A and B are shown apart, each in its own frame.
Chain A
Amino acid sequence: MTAVAVSQSRARRDGSRTKITVGLSITGLYVLVALLAPWLRPADPLAQDVANALAPPSGGHWLGTDELGRDVLSRILTGASIDLPIALAVTLLPCLLGTALGVVAGYFGGWADAVVMRVSDLLQAFPMYILMIVLVFGLGPGTSSLLISFTAVGWVVYARLVRGEVARVRSAEYVAAAVTGGLRAPRIIALHVLPNTLRQTFVYLTSDLVFAVTALAAFSFLGFGVQQPTPEWGAMIAAAQPYLDAAPWLTVVPGLVIAVLAFGLALLGDGLQDGTGRR
């Protein structure tokens, strides 16, 4: 390896380490806020004080109050304990379902493979979001609809990823050795096949979280997501629209809060991508 190449690969390693550190710090901060929200927030996020509505940021209300006089800082902090778990759930459920279907398709092949792949072809023909909107529409707005529609649409990518990897590993010698060694399929899959897919799945999971965080807010904005008066960040932005001129902080702050979290997750995903050696 030439000196230039060495310094380049070192620069890349340092770069990805910085990205992972910054990404993890941002994400960790949000997780901490989500866990400690009940103790961190200065006021009840649902307590109304109409006489004091749309107050600008001040010593009493660091981020001002909303159209019903609720403390914005308390609502933002509480929002972390609402947005984070939902984002995690709408990312993990499709991942689990997709992994399971991908294993079945890749390991057993045959008609199971054919069914899983044809259904995923069909789902991929729709723009993902359109399908989600339509599903949430069919099921009615709310958190459980979000969970179902994200899962019904999002499993496809994981299934394809895991299926490909499982099909590749399946013919590997160490799996053949496990078969001759008398191990049964579930054990072989759990011990020898799945671990090889974990890393890639995890990288994709991180980038999917970025999508989930912004998509959740978008759904609330469109009126299909978490409903008022829950202090969900996207719903807060949607509710603030009539007061954009009188109280811009009601729109600006939740948006920045979402953007910083998504940025942290995206950095983390980018850093992890470097680590896998895939370019």
Chain B
Amino acid sequence: MRGSRYGFVGRRALSLVPLLAGILFLVMLLLSVTPGSAARMVAGPRAGQDEVDAVARQLGLDLPVWERYLHYVGDVLTGDLGTSFKTGQSVSEQIAAQLPVTVAVAAAGVLLALALAVPLAVLAARRPGGPVDQAVRVFGALALGLPGFWVAIMLIRLVALPTGWFPVAGWGADAAGHARALVLPAVVVALGIVPPMVRSLRAAMIELHDAEFVVAARALGYRGVDLLRLFQARNALPPLVTVTAAQAGYALFGTVVVEVAFGLPGMGQGLVTAAGTRDFPLVQGYTLVFAVLVVLLHLLSDLVTAATDPRVRISA
């Protein structure tokens, strides 16, 4: 099996088990890090001690940590993330309804960021230190410094309101509505991740510029677009995939602020609301799903890299 594609996938997926176990443990511990007891918080300040104890039993807080952990792992594996304290709704159902919005916002942001970052990085890498490179980097510093939520407010006020092209808030009713609702949020998410993407891609392109096989290709007469297409693009792919995955994880955060600012019914807004109302099971659920998304993202990036770069499969 050594070196085979399926073997690599299997080994890589297996290596995630301890990580996921650790994530579950951290998420479970959330209930314990809160100052004062979680049970007291749920029961309310005026509840008697009996009531608080009853809530603690209901939450399983009277059990030892390892037993609580086993229960929690069992529940999660069967798809049960508990019920919301406030609404009594199933946490997994609520998250399942919001997940597509968050994934759509993050994905739209990452795609837009790629569309901007790749050409900028290629242009900047042509002449490191030259005027184009410097301009790209000043633009990067500028974009990096803009607070996302503020840009969102400004876009609503200066673009959405006067033109009427995009909804001021909300997710729209049909696919076309969703698409229109995604445009401005995608811009805000992209703005935050383009600068680090350009920086990493630019470095990767410059490294390729001096690579032996590129020097050889240049000596053979390949120039410009041909050189880029035939020799550099293929080899720039692995760093591109890694950078994109890392920034997509960051984009997931970007969605929190963006969803709140644009009133989108996604997990980010859900997390903020749940945190504000101290709805523990919901917060736990969101944290877990966000973490699993990041883990899957990195797995996906490793798999794509392996599929395009045979060296990874052999050495893994």
Q: Using a CB–CB distance below 8 Å, which chain A residues touch chain B?
A: 8-9, 11-12, 15, 19, 118, 121-122, 125-131, 133-140, 210, 213-214, 217-218, 221-224, 234, 237, 241, 244, 248, 251-252, 255, 258-267, 269-270, 279
Closest residue of A by beta carbon distance from B157:
A244
Top 8 A-B residue pairs of the complex, sorted by shortest distance between their CB atoms: A262-B145, A12-B129, A129-B253, A266-B141, A255-B150, A137-B275, A263-B145, A122-B22
A153 CB to nearest B CB, Å: 11
> Known: A130-B252, A279-B128. Contact between A210 and B144, CB under 8 A?
yes
A125 touches B23 (CB 8 A): yes
Q: What's the minimum C-beta distance from B77 to chain A, rounded to whole angstroms?
A: 18
With a cutoff of 8 Å between Cβ atoms, the chain B residues found around residue A252 in the complex are 154
In the bound complex, residues from chain B placing their C-beta under 8 Å from that of A265 are 145
* Residues B264-316 near A (CB distance < 8 A): 271-272, 275-276, 278, 283, 286-287, 290-291, 293-295
List the A side residues contacting B291 at CB < 8 Å.
125-127, 130
Contact A8 B130 (CB under 8 A): yes
Asked if B49 is at the interface of the complex by the 8 Å CB criterion, the answer is no
Q: How many residue pairs bridge A and B at CB < 8 Å?
A: 155
How far apart sit A8 and B137, CA to CA, in the bound complex (Å)? Answer: 16
Q: Is the CB of B256 within 8 A of A129?
A: yes
Residues of B within 8 A of A248 (CB): 157
0/1 interface trace, chain B 191-223, chain A, CB 8 Å (1 if under): 000010000001100110000000000000000
Complex CA distance for A118 and B275, rounded to whole angstroms:
28
In the complex, chain A residues whose CB is within 8 Å of the CB of B253: 127-130
A270 to B291 Cα, complex, angstroms: 31
Given contacts A237-B150, A241-B153, 13 further A-B contacts (CB under 8 A): A8-B129, A19-B137, A130-B252, A130-B290, A137-B275, A217-B147, A222-B256, A223-B272, A223-B276, A258-B150, A261-B145, A263-B144, A266-B141
Contact A11 B144 (CB under 8 A): no
Closest-CB distance, A21 to chain B (whole angstroms): 13
- Chain B 130-187 residues near chain A, CB threshold 8 A: 130, 134, 137-138, 140-142, 144-150, 153-154, 157
Known contacts being A126-B294, A251-B150, is A9 close to B129, with CB within 8 Å?
A: yes
Report yes or no: B138 in contact with A259, Cβ–Cβ below 8 A. Answer: no
Expressed in whole angstroms, the minimum distance between the Cβ of A96 and any Cβ of chain B is: 22
Q: Which of B26, B30, B129, B276 contacts A122 (CB 8 A)?
A: B26
Chain B, interface residues (CB within 8 Å), range: 35 or more
- The reply to whether A218 and B141 contact each other, CB–CB distance below 8 Å, is no
B-chain residues with CB within 8 Å of residue A221 when the two chains form the complex = 147, 149, 257, 260
- In the complex, the answer to whether B294 meets A210 with C-beta atoms within 8 Å is no
Residues of A within 8 A of B239 (CB): none
Contact A263 B141 (CB under 8 A): yes
Which residues of B are in contact with A by a Cβ distance under 8 Å? Answer: 19, 22-23, 26, 30, 33-35, 127-130, 134, 137-138, 140-142, 144-150, 153-154, 157, 195, 202-203, 206-207, 249-250, 252-253, 256-257, 260, 271-272, 275-276, 278, 283, 286-287, 290-291, 293-295
A270 nearest CB across to chain B (Å)? 5
Tell whether A214 pairs with B271 under 8 Å between CB atoms, given A126-B23, A129-B256: no
- Whether A217 pairs with B149 at a CB distance below 8 angstroms is yes
Residues in B whose Cβ lies below 8 Å from that of A135: 33
In the complex the two chains form, what is the Cα distance from A241 to B183 in whole Å?
22
Can you list 10 A-B pairs, Cβ within 8 angstroms, ordered by A? A11-B129, A19-B138, A122-B22, A127-B250, A139-B33, A217-B149, A221-B147, A222-B257, A237-B149, A261-B145
Partner pick for B148 among A19, A133, A214, CB 8 A cutoff: A214
Q: Which residues of chain B have C-beta atoms less than 8 A from A267's C-beta?
A: 138, 141
Q: How far is the CB of A240 from chain B (nearest CB, A)?
A: 9
B144–chain A nearest beta-carbon distance, Å: 5
Contact indicator B145/A134 (Cβ below 8 Å): no
Question: Which of the residues A9, A131, A134 comes within 8 Å of B275, measured between beta carbons?
Answer: A134
Please tell me if the beta carbons of A127 and B149 are within 8 angstroms of each other in the complex: no
* Inter-subunit contact B35/A140 (CB<8 Å): yes
* A139/B141 in contact, CB under 8 A: no
B144 lies within 8 A of A266 (CB): yes
Contacts A11-B129, A122-B23; is A260 near B145 (CB within 8 Å)? yes
A279 B203 Cβ-Cβ under 8 A: yes
